[in-house]
């Protein structure tokens, strides 16, 4: 490494965000750029550790460890330290099709596995990554690179989220003619409508989609396979098909009062907001507004946080976030050792903003919603909750047990269900007669092929709900398998 003692010479840079009470006034990203000298010092903190778990991309006891797309992190950290930004970009682009996405929205399992984190603070890998790619775009280093030769093979990719886009990018690079079908009015899938603008600016997504189109990928939007076009037709019109529609079947909460007005799935809330923001700057009013409402978000994950941040920007009078799990510890527990992803307490941007407005973290832990109660007009007015404790059952697994006498009532005008997803929608796999696994995901073999020859699946559709970076990895692996299938057992990918 360029500076072997860098991890001792420099401390991890303080998180550089706009103040919460400033950023809630707009929908812009919250992260100003760091000075170049700061980033070079942060790159210098990367140790010559010998075994860089940061880019291993493994699951250890079910927990993520390292980068799933095997980014060459130590190499580009060293290049940034030396001021060789273009060379850093070249190394970054070898493994990651979309570092401008992962550098913004990935929770950075690489940092959880950084050797520096064993006895101190990990390297600011995610910040360095996004700075490299943003600089590459600004300097004009990222340009369309259409393949020099076309193979004559045609591939259909269903879904334009991170898995679909990475698969399409790789297949196009191999020379195949790729068409991406997206049912929404804009490409990007989860990246476009599932993540709010202040977390991932939609101009960043549109910039990448345009680049892919300039390289020869055809995008067909507003077209739902299985509805507007029978899924079987794809097998006749294309030499291979890749299913990358995501895990979009949301988990609901079937308790008493669920049908009351004012209770919505989180994605209905988030997607409508982003679409209206892009179409009219929210002037058309075609979204669920939290303005002047007491909002309750059920679910403590990233989607729940996005609902908190969006509600605050609408002008909610109060936001409470409910989580059935216990509050995470402040430091790693004994059963969560390095290099696993650290399950520790932290506040994301939404909680920081709520705390700045109302004085405390909006999350309430270890609570279970028993029922919703409405007013005379059939609108939700309150939730009836009960506290739970986590106990080990006869099967050895921990589960929630209600605490007697802990019932409580929480007023609400708008309830958002951010409880995750149970798997893919079944229309397309059903029409194609693709086998499902025991979790309801599309079954694939070790080559990403479904039970139907010539049809492949990637991302959350096959893996189940996961991270953007895992989706990119799955898309790349599927593209490699498709190229091998179309090229008589060989692949250039």
For residue 460, the model assigns a pLDDT of 97
For residue 412, the model assigns a pLDDT of 98
Phi/psi class of residue 464: alpha, beta or left (left: φ > 0; alpha: ψ in -120 to 50)? left
Per-residue pLDDT of the chain (493 residues; tens, 9 = 90+): 668 899 999 999 998 999 999 999 999 998 889 999 999 999 999 988 888 999 888 888 877 799 999 999 999 999 999 999 999 999 999 999 999 999 999 999 999 999 999 889 999 999 999 999 999 999 999 999 999 999 999 999 999 999 999 999 999 999 999 999 999 999 999 999 999 999 999 999 999 999 999 999 999 999 999 999 999 999 999 999 999 999 999 999 999 999 999 999 999 999 999 999 999 999 999 999 999 999 999 999 999 999 999 999 999 999 999 999 999 999 999 999 999 999 999 999 999 999 999 999 999 999 999 999 999 999 999 999 999 999 998 888 999 999 999 999 999 999 999 999 999 999 999 999 999 999 999 999 999 999 999 999 999 999 999 999 999 999 999 999 999 999 999 999 9
For residue 202, the model assigns a pLDDT of 98
Domain ranges of the chain: 6-139, 154-249+423-486, 252-419
For the CA atoms of the chain, what is the radius of gyration?
A: 23
Give, in words, the CATH class of 154-249+423-486.
alpha beta
Residue 484 class from Cβ within 10 Å (0-12 exposed, 13-18 middle, 19+ buried)? middle
Number of H helices, E strands in the chain: 17, 18
| Neighbouring C-beta atoms of residue 79, cutoff 10 Å | 23
For residue 493, the model assigns a pLDDT of 95
**Cα–Cα distance for residue pair 163/376, rounded to 1 Å:** 46
CA angle, residues 88, 93, 94, in degrees to nearest 5: 105
For residue 236, the model assigns a pLDDT of 97
Question: 252-419 has which CATH code?
Answer: 3.50.50.60
**Cα–Cα distance for residue pair 260/222, rounded to 1 Å:** 31
Q: Helix (H, G, I), strand (E, B), or coil: what is residue 409?
A: strand
For residue 59, the model assigns a pLDDT of 85
* Candidate CATH numbers 1.10.1060.10, 1.10.760.10, 1.10.540.10, 3.30.499.10; the one for domain 6-139: 1.10.1060.10
On whether the CB atoms of residues 447 and 481 are closer than 8 A, the answer is: yes
* Side-chain-facing half-sphere of 326: CA atoms under 13 Å: 12
Phi/psi at 84 (5° precision): -95, 70
For residue 48, the model assigns a pLDDT of 84
Same fold, 154-249+423-486 and 252-419: yes
Residue in this structure with the two tokens 């250890």, named with its chain if needed:
60
């Amino acid at each position: 490494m360029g500076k072997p003692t860098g991890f001792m010479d420099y401390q991890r840079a303080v998180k550089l965000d706009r103040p919460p009470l400033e950023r809630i006034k707009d929908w812009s990203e919250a992260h100003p750029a760091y000075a170049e000298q700061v980033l070079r010092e942060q790159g210098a903190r990367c140790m010559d550790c010998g075994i860089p778990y940061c880019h291993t991309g493994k699951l250890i006891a079910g927990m993520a460890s390292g980068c799933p797309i095997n980014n060459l992190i130590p190499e580009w950290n060293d290049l940034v330290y030396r001021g060789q930004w273009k060379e850093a970009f070249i190394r970054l682009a070898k493994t990651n099709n979309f570092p401008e996405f992962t550098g913004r929205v990935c929770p950075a399992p690489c940092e959880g596995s950084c050797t520096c984190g064993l006895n101190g603070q990990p390297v600011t890998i995610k910040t360095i990554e996004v700075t490299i790619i943003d600089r590459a775009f600004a300097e004009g280093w990222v340009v369309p690179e259409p393949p020099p030769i076309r193979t004559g093979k045609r591939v259909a990719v269903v879904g334009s989220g991170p898995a679909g886009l990475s698969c399409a990018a790789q297949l196009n690079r191999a020379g195949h003619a790729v068409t991406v079908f997206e049912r929404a009015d804009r490409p990007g899938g989860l990246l476009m409508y599932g993540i709010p603008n202040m977390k991932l600016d939609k101009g960043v997504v549109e910039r990448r989609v345009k680049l892919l189109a300039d390289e020869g990928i055809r995008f067909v939007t507003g077209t739902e396979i299985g509805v507007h076009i029978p899924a079987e037709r794809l097998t006749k019109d294309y030499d291979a098909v890749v299913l990358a529609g995501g895990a979009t079947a949301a988990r609901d909460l079937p308790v008493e009062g669920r049908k009351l007005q004012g209770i919505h799935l989180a994605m209905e809330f988030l997607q409508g907001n982003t679409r209206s923001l892009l179409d009219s700057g929210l002037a058309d009013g075609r979204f669920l507004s939290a303005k002047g409402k007491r909002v309750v978000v059920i679910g403590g994950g990233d989607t729940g946080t996005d609902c908190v941040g969006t509600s605050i920007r609408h002008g909610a009078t109060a936001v409470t976030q409910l989580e059935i799990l216990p509050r995470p510890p402040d430091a790693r527990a004994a059963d969560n050792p390095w290099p696993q992803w650290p399950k520790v307490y932290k506040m994301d941007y939404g909680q920081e903003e709520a705390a700045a407005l109302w004085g405390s973290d909006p999350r309430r832990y270890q609570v279970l919603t028993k029922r919703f109660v409405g007013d005379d007009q059939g609108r939700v007015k309150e939730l009836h909750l009960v506290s739970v404790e986590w106990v080990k059952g006869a099967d050895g697994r921990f589960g929630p047990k209600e605490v007697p006498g802990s019932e409580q009532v929480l007023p609400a005008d708008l309830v958002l269900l951010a409880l995750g997803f149970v798997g893919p929608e079944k229309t397309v796999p059903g029409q194609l007669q693709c086998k499902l696994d025991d979790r309801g995901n599309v079954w694939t073999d070790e080559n990403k092929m479904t039970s139907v020859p010539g049809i492949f699946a990637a991302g959350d559709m096959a893996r189940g709900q996961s991270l953007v970076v895992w989706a990119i990895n799955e898309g790349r692996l599927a593209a490699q398998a498709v190229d091998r299938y179309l090229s008589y057992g060989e692949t250039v990918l």
